[in-house]
Structure 1
């Protein structure tokens, strides 16, 4: 598990062996079963999460029990509830495995120490935050202005490996469209 994470880190910056060792030494390795929760609404998000294998979803559950999926986190991505983590307040969101997943977790105090001691990790973290902001802004624009067909096409183009691994109801939830609409779109595309 740690070897693939080290490969990921080295693909983004030239970390020394001692820096890699320090980053990995503080990581907690965890395997999640399908639908197992890593964070539940009301809990405080105490860890940065890196996905080695599998897919996690960040979502909110509304009064009628339906889910609004904000984000999918497949292999080689980071996730957390940023507001709960930063402020150490109860989360409004959930994080759970879509499929069996292997993750690495860093406690907030450990990760903050690593950021202070390893400038390359801090730079990488800032780049990832910026990319996440850009991606979130694009997603908001798409949600507000795109047709259901355009939303689905953008999802398939930006996340090419994910649609085949996700249940249709989760894709529909992420796109903010009904399952019936998603089924119609996919059916129309298959007949082109």
Structure 2
């Protein structure tokens, strides 16, 4: 399965030597994940950086009342972790599970930090990914506080068309911060507007 990670490495880190690639390979753990299987449970310390080879993962929070709030969906060729828990090695407030059968590469905290030290190019890529993630989070917060539910729905459909087709509607509603009923009304309203 590591071979499926190689195109990503070649695209983003073309200057890596065979020795550096072998270091990354030797630190990685391959995991096949069943649909609905959890990779992180709230209360656990997030020990891994994860990369999705195949499949779809969801990061979400469950309130004390049992309500789920989708934070992020990560499909093929995406990295994910719970950054707060991973960096500070504190109990996570989030859960991560598979929405589809998935193949994932994992690097534990200590191994990945050692790789970042040993391979400056990987460290630079990691810093770039963190910056990109922060920018995406900022965009999402701005969208959530300054747009209508319809605008958020249309943005999600156009920004993540592949993910949109693979995620159940109640999870899309959770991601958008609306009820499933509200999302159904939005979808029906947009269909009527498109026909008229």
Normalised by the shorter chain, which TM-score bucket? over 0.9
Partner of 2:86: 85
Partner of 1:130: 131
Q: Quote the RMSD (CA, aligned, Å).
A: 1.0
Structure 1 gaps, min length 5: none
Partner of 1:51: 52
* Residues 12-161 of structure 1: pairs in structure 2 closer than 5 A: 12-14=12-14, 15-161=16-162
3-state secondary structure, aligned to 1:190: helix
Normalised by the length of structure 2, the TM-score is 0.95
Say whether 1:5 aligns with 2:23: no
Partner of 1:163: 164
Q: Distance in 1 between matches of 2:48 and 2:20?
A: 20
Runs of 4+ in structure 1 displaced over 4 angstroms? none
Partner deviation per Cα, 1:122-178 (whole Å, 9 max, x = no partner): 111011001000000000011111101100111111111011100000000001011
> What is the deviation of 1:21?
1.4
Structure 2 gaps, min length 5: none
Q: Distance in 2 between matches of 1:35 and 1:190?
A: 31
Q: Distance in 1 between matches of 2:51 and 2:34?
A: 16
**Residues paired across the two proteins, number:** 192
Q: Distance in 1 between matches of 2:164 and 2:152?
A: 13
Partner deviation per Cα, 1:104-132 (whole Å, 9 max, x = no partner): 10011110110001111011101100100
3-state secondary structure, aligned to 2:162: coil
Partner of 2:187: 186
Normalised by the length of structure 1, the TM-score is 0.97
